[in-house]
Structure 1
Amino acid sequence: MAQKAAKSLATRNAATLNRSHLITAILHSLFLFLHWLFNRPGALLPYVLLTLPALGIEFYLERLGRPRYSPQDGSLKSAGEDLSASGLTEYMWDVTYWTWGCLIAACLFGDRAWWLYLAVPFWSVYLLWSTFSGMRKGFAGMGDAAETSGGSTSKRQQKLEKRSGQRVQYR
């Protein structure tokens, strides 16, 4: 049964990676074709600088999620990591999708559309702040619980005492 799950993960990862590589190749080809068709000077520097992170992420996701097969018999050696996992992998896909959107906007509206890429650092700061504040709230309650638990009765004991009117003794 575990092999079936690994095979389905491998096919899902391979399909996701092939689809993302195809979309990336089409979008980059379209941008470069339009760049040379309309002879826009200076448009290549923002293109290179702002698409390099997404290309690096795509290369990393390729190494992380591509299934590996045995060359002798073609059996599955490794299914790769789950590319639909939440957390950092999800954030890397967000950066890739946003880069694709910026590429489409740059094709349609020109070089000023690269300013949309500023949303990525702002989104990163927002995610960092929300993670930090959530952890801070979680740690804040730990100090109160340690202070109240020392020597006092548990909630179960308090309920029993309230219900019966007598103190419960444990031996």
Structure 2
Amino acid sequence: MAQKAAKTLAARNSSVLLRTHLITLALHALHLLLHFTFNRPRSLKYYYILAIPTLLIEFYLDRIGRPRHNPADGSLRSPGEDLGAAGLTEYMWDVLYWTWGCIGAVCLFGDRAWWLWVVVPSYSVWLAYSTFTGMRSGLAGFGGGDGQGGAEGAESKRQKKMEKRGGQRMRYR
């Protein structure tokens, strides 16, 4: 049972990638079928503009997550990166899922549903803003951020007790 964790990760990545490719294929085929069959007043311009970035994201996720095997004996060379990792990978999955939802909404409601895709950049801006303001308030104790110099506003209970007793005394040994 050598490399059990690597083999488990490789199997999970392979199944996630297969499921992702099948869902993407089905949604895109449905959208194009509805476009060409029912001749609805849909513009493929929005479809290309908003679907190509997610196809690139899917290609990237496939590239980093696909397990690699030795061609000679078929043994596992690399299980690929963890596709369930937090951070940028998680954000890419969110963009991919949201685009799937937008394509489904466009299939049901028409081209106006592409406006739902605006939520992704809006969420990014809100996330950046909240991170910046959180970081700014976190740096307030260092004399930066909110304009207060140091720890005037935030004293701990221990600091308050020390002040009551007459301040902190230095002891020399």
Structure 1 residue runs without a partner (length 5+): 150-154
Say what the alpha-carbon RMSD is for the aligned residues: 2.9
Structure 1 stretches of 4+ moved >4 Å: none
Q: CA deviation at 1:110?
A: 1.0
**TM-score w.r.t. length of structure 2:** 0.81
**Mapping 1:12-161, distance limit 5 Å:** 12-143=12-143
- Distance of aligned partners of 1:131 and 1:148 in 2 relative to their CA distance in 1, 3 Å threshold: closer
Question: What is the rounded CA distance, in whole Å, between the counterparts of 1:170 and 1:6 in structure 2?
Answer: 57
Q: Distance in 2 between matches of 1:118 and 1:67?
A: 34
Q: Does the 8 Å CA contact 2:13/2:66 hold for their aligned counterparts?
A: yes
How many equivalent pairs are there? 163
Q: For residues 49 and 148 of structure 1, do their structure 2 counterparts lie closer, same or farther at Cα, with a shift above 3 Å needed? A: closer
TM-score normalised by L of structure 1: 0.82
Give the secondary structure class of the aligned counterpart of 2:77. Answer: strand
Look up the match of 2:171.
169
How big is the shift at 1:148?
7.2
Check 1:139–1:148 CA distance in 2 against 1; reply closer, same or farther (3 A cut). Answer: closer
How many angstroms apart in 1 are the aligned matches of 2:34 and 2:172?
A: 81
| Higher relative helix content | 1
Over the matched positions of the two proteins, sequence identity in percent amounts to 64
Structure 1 distance, partners of 2:52, 2:99, is: 10
- 5+ residue gaps, structure 2, are 152-156
Indicate the structure whose relative CO is greater, using CA pairs within 8 Å and at least 6 residues apart.
Answer: 1
